[in-house]
Amino acid sequence: MHIEIDTTAKGLTINLPQTAATITVGPVQADPDAALLLFAKDHQIVSGGTTAEDADRQLALTLQWDQEGEYLQRMFAAKIAGTDVADAGVPAGAYQAVAAVFADLTTALSLLGYTFGQAAAKPAAKRPGKPRHRFDRKLADTPFTVDHDGAHATVYWRKAKEMEIAPGARLRTEQLLNKDGSESYSAKYGDKLRADHAAAIKDGVTTAAVTLRSVNEVGSFLYYGNTNSWLQLLNAEGKTLDELTRIG
């Protein structure tokens, strides 16, 4: 296997030319460009997708556009849990190609000294797959309202990766804190998004349209996340965006 190692502002970057994939190892932080995220403690990968509380490293995997990040996430979840990746819920038609990419990635991680957490005491229960949603152009001009945790807004899903928050949105001002009183990860990410759009915010209210990349970013921006934001966006009939666009 041929790999290329470099350092960037984000951390140590490992390029796999044959697989057209990149692994960036660095501190735990938001990375909206990653196809999937893995989190490690003392060089043991202990979670994927959701940050482990005691993780000290984040491994952000970027893939070429036609590789199925969701299917790879399922395989990594099975690997971490110590279950068979063949039972990870990857469709038969995609399994061979995804398994080849997965093998290259795990080999590269192994060469870097990373191992995977294993289920101890009891077998890990199979987790349901992460819900998927499909953008519907018919909904591009449909206003969805948000009224959650002190945040009030009108939001449009304009394009597959374009969410628009209309001017006049009121943001939650109370910070989300961890049990020890420190600022939570979701609050830090929300504050970063607000800083990025500071010119459109005055006294906790947006004065211009704010464009974000995803429903989760909308939740982080408006009320610091900490809930399933697909269930917080409601149309005029009270139907959630999740209900209208969920495909599995």
| 87-111 pLDDT tens trace | 888 888 778 888 888 888 888 888 8
pLDDT of residue 30: 61
d(CA 21, CA 15): 6
The residues facing 164 across adjacent strands are: 156, 211
Q: Is the pTM of this model over 0.85?
A: no
- Domain borders along the chain are 4-116, 137-245
**What is the 3-state secondary structure of the chain?**
CCCEEEEECCEEEEEECCCCEEEEEECCCCCCCCCEEEEEECCEEEEECCCCCCCCEEEEEEECCCCCHHHHHHHHHHHHHCCCHHHCCCCHHHHHHHHHHHHHHHHHHHHCCCEECCCCCCCCCCCCCCCCECCCHHHCCCCEEEEECCEEEEEEEEECCEEEECCCCECCCCCCECCCCCECHHHHHHHHHHHHCHHHEECCEECCCEEECCHHHHHHHHHCCCCCHHHCCECCCCCEHHHHHECC
pLDDT of residue 150: 93
CB 61 within 8 A of CB 26: no
CB 243 within 8 A of CB 131: no
pLDDT of residue 136: 93
pLDDT by residue for the chain (248 residues), tens only, comes to 676 777 766 667 777 777 777 788 877 776 666 667 888 888 888 777 666 667 788 887 777 655 567 787 888 888 888 888 888 888 887 788 888 888 888 888 888 888 886 544 445 566 666 788 999 999 999 999 999 999 999 999 999 999 999 999 999 998 778 788 888 888 889 999 999 999 999 999 999 999 999 999 999 999 998 889 999 999 999 999 999 999 86
